[in-house]
């Protein structure tokens, strides 16, 4: 299920690692709810949700900051539909964003999209991050890497197994099955995040897989760090 919000505030300049503002927004929205332990956890656990942020127009941008024009587009997606109600009530009463007064908020809850084809094209909203684990730590996976599909499936398997073990009381999560990356039109990108730098990618992917898996990806996103605003996708071709 997806929540789309248009947030109208005055034009201004913000840090380029703006995702942290929305991570704080989510923590405030779910504090004191049944999802508090998931959203506020300091452990690096897979999150059963994702979000993306966009701007009506970016006037100028550098490595440290960007200047934008209103509105700000905030999109949140999760296979746990009861999370949406808590977020809806919090966002509609949001007084400030980026320390600026909120003038108007428009919230839209689009009807769920059900994928009915085993092959589907997904567009990444913003960018996604994918890693592989070595003894010395995480290493970023790039679109041209030979093990891209293997890393994609490893990430998916870890997430589904964790969700089925920890969050089954919130709803059904499908059993893992392999996804085939048929085509990818992706480009590498560098993202400033919490004072550091991540390596990710943006673009489109054509995937083939079980319908339940594809529908899960459409709601929960792809890759790692989905709870930090990476990996949200939308279906662009049925």
Q: What are the DSSP calls for 15-43, one per residue?
A: ES-THHHHHHHHHHHHTTSTTHHHHS--S
Residues 6+ apart with CB under 8 A from 126: 52, 53, 54, 202, 229, 230, 232
What pLDDT shows up at residue 76?
A: 97
What pLDDT shows up at residue 136?
A: 54
Counting other chains too, the contacts that 42-47 makes at CB distance below 8 Å and 24 or more residues apart are 45/162, 46/158, 46/159, 46/162, 46/163, 46/224, 46/226, 46/227, 47/226, 47/227
Give the distance from CA 106 to its chain's centroid. Answer: 20
First to last CA, the chain: 18
| Statement: residue 216 has pLDDT above 90 | yes
Same fold: 2-108 with 119-237: yes
The per-residue pLDDT for range 31-60, each reduced to its tens digit, is 999 999 999 988 888 999 999 999 998 888
The per-residue pLDDT for range 175-193, each reduced to its tens digit, is 999 999 999 999 999 888 8
* Mean pLDDT of the residues in the chain: 91
pTM to 2 decimals?
Answer: 0.93
Do the bridges between strand 131-134 and strand 12-15 make them parallel or antiparallel, or are there none, so unpaired? unpaired
CATH fold of 2-108 reads: Alpha-Beta Plaits (3.30.70)
With respect to CATH, is domain 119-237 assigned 3.30.70.1900? yes
What pLDDT shows up at residue 132?
A: 85
Query: Residue 91 and residue 53: Cα distance in Å, rounded?
Result: 14
Query: Residue 26 and residue 90: Cα distance in Å, rounded?
Result: 9
Look at residue 237 and give its three-state secondary structure: strand
- The structural domains of the chain, with segments of one domain joined by +, span 2-108, 119-237
pLDDT band at 149 (very low <50, low <70, confident <90, very high): very high
Highest mean pLDDT among 89-98, 100-109, 207-216: 207-216
Q: Is 136 exposed, middle or buried (0-12, 13-18, 19+ CB in 10 A)?
A: exposed
In which element (H, E) is residue 104 found?
Answer: strand 100-108
């Amino acid at each position: 299920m997806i929540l789309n919000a248009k947030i109208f505030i005055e034009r201004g300049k913000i840090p380029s690692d703006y995702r942290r503002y929305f991570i704080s927004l989510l923590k405030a929205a779910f504090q004191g709810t049944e999802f508090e332990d998931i959203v506020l956890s300091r452990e690096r656990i897979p999150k059963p949700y994702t979000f993306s942020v966009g701007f009506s127009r970016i006037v100028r941008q550098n490595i440290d900051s960007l200047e934008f024009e209103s509105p700000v587009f905030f999109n949140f997606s999760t296979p746990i539909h009861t999370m949406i109600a808590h977020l809806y009530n919090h966002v509609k009463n949001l007084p400030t964003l980026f320390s600026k007064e909120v003038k108007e908020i428009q919230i839209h809850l689009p009807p769920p999209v059900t994928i009915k084809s085993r092959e589907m094209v997904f567009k990444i909203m913003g960018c996604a991050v994918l890693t592989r684990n070595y003894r010395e730590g995480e290493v970023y996976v790039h679109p041209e890497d030979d093990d891209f599909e293997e890393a994609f499936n490893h990430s998916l398997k870890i997430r589904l197994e964790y969700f089925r073990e920890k969050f089954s009381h919130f709803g059904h999560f499908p059993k893992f099955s392999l996804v085939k990356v048929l085509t990818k039109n992706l480009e590498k990108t560098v993202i400033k995040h919490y004072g550091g730098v991540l390596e990710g990618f943006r673009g489109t992917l054509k995937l083939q897989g079980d319908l339940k898996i594809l529908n899960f990806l459409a709601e929960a996103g792809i890759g790692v760090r989905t709870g930090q605003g990476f990996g949200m996708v939308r279906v662009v071709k049925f």
